Structure 1
Amino acid sequence: MRLRSRKARGSWKSRSKRTLIAAALTTTIVAGTTGWAVGNEQQPLTGPPPGTQAWRTDHTWGVRLPDPASTTPARVAAFFDSLSQAQQHRLAARHPSVVGNLDGAPTALRFEANSQSLKVERARERARETNPRLTLQDHERARSLVARYEDLLSPGRQILAFDPRGRGQVAEVYGDLSDASHVSVVVPGSDMDLGTFDRSKDEYGTPAGMARSLHASAGDDTAVVAWVGYTTPVGLGPDAATGRLADAGAPRLARFVQGLTASGTPRPAVFCHSYGSVVCGLAAPQLPASDLVVLGSPGMRAESVADLHTSARVWAAKDESDWIGDVPNVELFGLGHGEDPADPGFGARRVPAERAEGHTGYFAPGTDSLQAFAAIAKTTSSTVSDHGTAGWAPAADASPTGERP
């Protein structure tokens, strides 16, 4: 008993010391970058999709359309099931920006609606390119957006969500979502938006690059969704150190995943990178996920797996060369994101990452982490009921790790 008391006191002293150091470091960083950080403070995009007001006042068929802000994805799915194919297509043509972002609407219909929305936005920006009343900077911005929209309209791309407001948000599917045996969702961290979603620089640090790599490794029976559906932090200012943007993004993620399952997909494995793991941690109680996999995480705003209040299996990966390991794992006065999910005491299952390099190398081909991610992504939905069992692992021929928590 005395030994346990000494250990408890030692642990408390260690945590207190770590908290004080973290507070001093955080205060210094924030004070030293105030001007830079304030200039990069992001206003989160919240609320229903663009075009919602016109949707709400459309009584063409003598029925009230499901409110994008308050109707559950399951009820949205039931509403579309009650329509004929012709009615669905007419609705998408009248309100593409709503249908394209309406969680619970049929997948193929959302692809169709978002294609139309992209064409509308492309035409708008083409007009701005030569508008004499705009500045040269406006013209350059318009040209950039035209190129961006044309790229997203390339044949074969499957855009499941598209919102041009703010920095822009997008979700893209890799694989056949309507017929997949397994589904995964990738949630990115800082600096991701419509423009950086699939940039060529640092490919495996982008949501598109991570999703493509996972799909290639997991195989054609697995569909992967790259989701940039929340306002991410820019740089390393206070936005990245607090949960403000994650608080705004968590309900959007939860609703998006609920929309997938309401549309008939299997419960997905959700892969959360960096600040995206903060979003996933806050969304966890409402996420109908089979697995939560965090990588390069600064914390999930939870002290342990139990504090996530999720029935999903929880996994964590962190390689030794990842700079995130230098970030103090505390939460004090709203700064910091809590315990390290890769710490054994957190209770997550370990994902090996010895061959991953840096903060954005976890999905790189040939890494042990990618191999493990693919094995997790391919676990069958029938094993979901086993998520609370500490000894669970994927099938022996595809096991991510031999270790157990």
Structure 2
Amino acid sequence: MRRYARTLVAVALATTVAAGTAGWASGSTQRAVSGPPPGSASWRADEVRGRELPDPASATPAQVASFFAGLSPSQQNELVRRHPSVVGNLDGVPLELRYRANSAALKASTDPRYRSLARPGRRILAFDPRGRGLVAEVFGDLRAARHVAVVVPGADIDAGSFDRDSDPYGTPAGMSRSLRDATGPETAVIAWAGYTTPVGVGWDAATGELAEVGADRLARFTDGLAADGLVVPAVFCHSYGSVVCGLAAHRLHVDDLVVLGSPGMRAGSVPALRTTARVWAAKDPTDWIGDVPNVEFAGMGHGADPADPDFGARRVPARRAVGHTGYFAPGTDSLRAFAAIAEGTAGTVLVDGATGITAPTGQSAGAGAVR
């Protein structure tokens, strides 16, 4: 009887997740963008001096990188010219070629959503116009960087909301710019909106369907960074993005995995993530995500709260962050801690029975640090 009662409670909570709690709203069901980049059919039919091009659907990023390494600069440039949509979105292609390919694709686009992305000087690492639009942008010199961070956003992010003036620290571009400004010239930050996010917080946000596709894309993306010879990144996952990161964790080539404002990672603990990365979690006391039941039942809900000490993640202080999108706001203790993690200078200390974060190495512990 008790077991039956617990099941009823779980069903009720999962239904609450879908129907909405404080801060949640209804949303429309989305179809995830998946598979190889647009233009892959014409790419497969092409060749370079008698050599077949790697199949975007089956070639690994390492195989793609090896193929491009064997081409002359003129051959690489010809592929950029003939197939910008494939070159710009194919993980394993050298980032310099991706920048040029995506710049060409954006200039050729007539969609008003992409005008700002086409501005000179922006380093667009991915641009896929399918669906609501998938985008990745680099802040800093990724090739020369000693430290790299990747920001994975949550719901309601697409090409149109990737970079906006309202609520900027709730956008991947705004979060990434802020983190880049808080670090230094040796750190590059990638804003990765490379998956189809939920719209609103309805069925899609309460289930893991979009996150499963997103996890595959994120894992391939980090494989591509490694294949291109770039340094191992720290990954920062906001809101529903933390569900994506939880499902991808065991496949990600990362040193640090940081979740903030997380509804759950579809894992009951850090060991259940099966990752060798250090796992960090932040949740400020005013974030409405705290009202979301941490359950998982019949595919609904995302499980344990990563910020709960029992989960086993290292704590990131977030006393000065406000709301669900305030973690990257300048002057917050959370942003200061994120910068330390990105730069590899974060120390750890036990706080209230949980593992927390100290001030960066060589700096005194200010008001925003856990002491």
Secondary structure in structure 2 of the residue aligned to 1:299: coil
The equivalent position to 1:302 in structure 2, one of 261, 267, 272, is: 267
Q: Relative contact order (alpha carbons < 8 A, sep ≥ 6): 1 or 2 greater? A: 2
TM-score (norm 1): 0.83
**1:27-69 CA distances to partner (integer Å, 9 max, x unpaired)?**
2564699xx95x7100000000000011111124211111111
The residue correspondences of 1:310-389 to structure 2 (distance < 5 A) are 310-379=275-344
Q: Which residue in 1 is equivalent to 2:350?
A: none
Distance 1:65 1:106 in 2: 15
Would you say the 8 A contact 1:269–1:377 is kept in 2? yes
Q: What SS does the corresponding residue of 1:215 show, helix, strand or coil?
A: helix
Is 1:55 the counterpart of 2:21 in the alignment?
no
Aligned residues: 357
- Say which SS state the counterpart of residue 148 (structure 2) adopts: strand
| Kept in 2: contact 1:111–1:160 (CA 8 A) | yes
Structure-1 separation of matches of 2:6 and 2:275? 28
Question: 1:110, 1:161 within 8 Å by CA — same for their partners in 2?
Answer: yes
State how 1:64-75 maps to structure 2 within 5 Å: 64-75=52-63
- Cα drift, residue 159 of structure 1: 0.5
Could you tell me how far 1:26 is from its partner in structure 2?
A: 3.4
Structure 2: runs of 5 or more not aligned: 348-354
Q: Give the SS at the match of 2:52.
A: coil
Q: Which position in structure 2 is the counterpart of 1:119?
A: 107
Contact 1:296 1:318 in 2 (8 A): yes
Aligned counterpart for 1:286 among listed residues 235, 240, 251: 251
CA, structure 1 residues 328+31, in 2 after alignment: closer, same or farther (shift >3 Å)? Answer: closer
Paired amino acid for 1:313: R
CA-atom RMSD in angstroms:
2.5
- Pick from 236, 239, 247 the counterpart of residue 204 of structure 2: 239
Equivalence for 2:363: 397
Contact 1:22-1:328 at 8 Å conserved across structures: no
Task: Report the counterpart of residue 68 of structure 2 in structure 1.
Answer: 80
Q: Which residue of 2 aligns with 1:23?
A: 11
Mapped partners of 1:254, 1:57: distance in 2: 27
1:256 counterpart residue number: 221
Secondary structure in structure 2 of the residue aligned to 1:397 = coil
Please tell me whether the aligned partners of residues 18 and 206 of structure 2 are also in contact (alpha carbons under 8 angstroms): no
Identity of aligned residues (%): 65
Q: Which amino acid aligns with 1:230?
A: Y
Displacement of 1:81: 0.9
Q: 1:362 to 1:240 in 2, by over 3 A?
A: same
Structure 1 residue 151 and structure 2 residue 139: aligned? no
Relative to structure 1, is the Cα distance of residues 347 and 108 closer, same or farther in structure 2, using a 3 angstrom cutoff?
same
- Structure showing greater radius of gyration is 1
CA distance in 2, matches of 1:299, 1:76: 34
Aligned-residue offset at 1:19 = 6.3
Give me the TM-score of the superposition, normalised by structure 2: 0.91
On the 8 A contact 2:337/2:357 being kept in 1, the answer is no
1:397 partner amino acid? Q
C-alpha displacement at 1:150, in angstroms?
2.3
| 2:175 partner letter | M
Q: Secondary structure at the match of 2:51?
A: coil
CA-CA distance at 1:21 after TM superposition: 3.5
